[in-house]
Amino acid sequence: MASSTSPASAPAAVLCALLALAAALGARAGPLSPAYYEESCPHVYDTVRRVIQEARVGDPRIPASLIRLHFHDCFVNGCDGSLLLDDAGAMQSEKNALPNRGSARGFEVVDGIKAALESACPGVVSCADILALAAEISVELSGGPNWNVFLGRRDGMTANFDGANNLPAPTDDLDLLRQKFSDFNLDDTDFVALQGAHTIGRAQCRLFHDRLYNFSGSMQPDQTMDLAYLSELRQSCPASDSESTALSNLDPPTPDAFDNSYYGNILCNRGLLQSDQGMLSAPGGAAAPTAPIVGRFAASQADFFQSFATAMVKMGNIAPLTGSMGEIRRNCRVVNWG
């Protein structure tokens, strides 16, 4: 008996060891997979890409706006598409929270992507995955790196208005911002790399007005800001209107190209938001702990691209809903019926 079981159990033991290894590796990579829709919606990538290509013809800012949506989704309740839900009954939309209201944009493009996917493969692709794919494609279309997008997230059934109000703010100090990222296991390299998304897109005057005229209630501009840049910004962002929605480019040298010039700006004290410049210099002139990473990315676009891609995959892995959790929304703005 013993001799007849042992030849069979030897390969079984090897098989079990392999399965355990695969499970361990799988657990480390998370439950998401780049091949998730290979059978169920083989053209998902091309479909998302086509809709974004069409949208950005009329609005070159769209790629930037879409990247930001993925960030604001993942940092609130995980990457579950909760940001996309509109107000409904007792549910308060995240879209109306302070960091998003009058600011987060691109929702119509997400609707367009969802509609195209519902006609190609109904009920299959989640809104949360659409945001992850749209972010990668937007970076790539803007000249940035590409990476394998992990897929298989499902959509949440609730919005978290208070959570959205706690998103990183441009007026948060460096330590608070680092804390908000490390809460999601994103280290300083991830933190500095992810803010490099500000290499494209725009920001409204009201979000940096204090830096130009009345920094920390001092009635003086932010002393860290380059003077020529200060006077440039004042031309489109007037003292008289601290609520102005006039736009400035986050990366003036190459406003719509995904490159590393954002970090070069910061080295020249030409970061637009307090949170951008704060990665280099702490108030009082002390060097910030993140300063060496800013220098490294300014010196090497390849380093920045690699770290950005790694950090985007990590951010996309924040608390996804998988298995039987959540649902696949049919319309990204509302939870399904029943």
Q: Which is nearer to ligand NAG, 235 or 240 (CB)?
A: 240
Nearest to 178 by CA among 76, 282, 62: 282
CB of 279 to ligand NAG, least distance (A): 23
Chosen from ligand HEM, ligand NAG, none, partner binding at 217 (C-beta under 5 to 8 Å by type): ligand NAG
Residues of the shown chain interacting with ligand HEM in the complex, contacts defined by CB under 6 A? 61, 64-65, 67-68, 71, 103, 105, 168-170, 177, 194-195, 197-198, 200-204, 207, 250, 273, 275
Is there a contact between 127 and 110 (Cβ–Cβ < 8 Å)?
yes
Q: Which of 217, 285, 323, 338 binds ligand NAG (CB under 6 A)?
A: 217
- Contact of residue 310 among ligand HEM, ligand NAG, none (CB under 5-8 Å per partner type): none
Number of alpha carbons in the 13 Å side-chain half-sphere of residue 145:
21
Q: How far is the CB of 162 from ligand NAG (least distance, A)?
A: 24
Contact mark string toward ligand NAG, 4..23, x via CB under 6 A:
--------------------
Report the nearest approach of ligand HEM to the CB of residue 301 (Å): 17
The CA distance from 208 to 275, in Å, is 10
Spacing of C-alpha 3 from chain mean position: 59
Residue 307, both tokens: 């770290």
Residues in binding site? 73, 76, 78, 80, 82, 94, 168, 198-199, 251, 254, 259
CA distance linking residue 310 with residue 136, whole number of Å: 12
Annotated catalytic residue 209: no
Contact 270, 226 (CB under 8 A): yes
What is the distance between the alpha carbons of residues 15 and 5, in angstroms, rounded to a whole number? 15
CA atoms within 13 A on the CB side of 283: 12
By CB under 6 A, the count of residues binding ligand NAG is 2
Least separation in angstroms between residue 218's CB and ligand NAG is: 8
CA dist 177 and 275 (Å) reads: 8
Active site residue ranges: 72
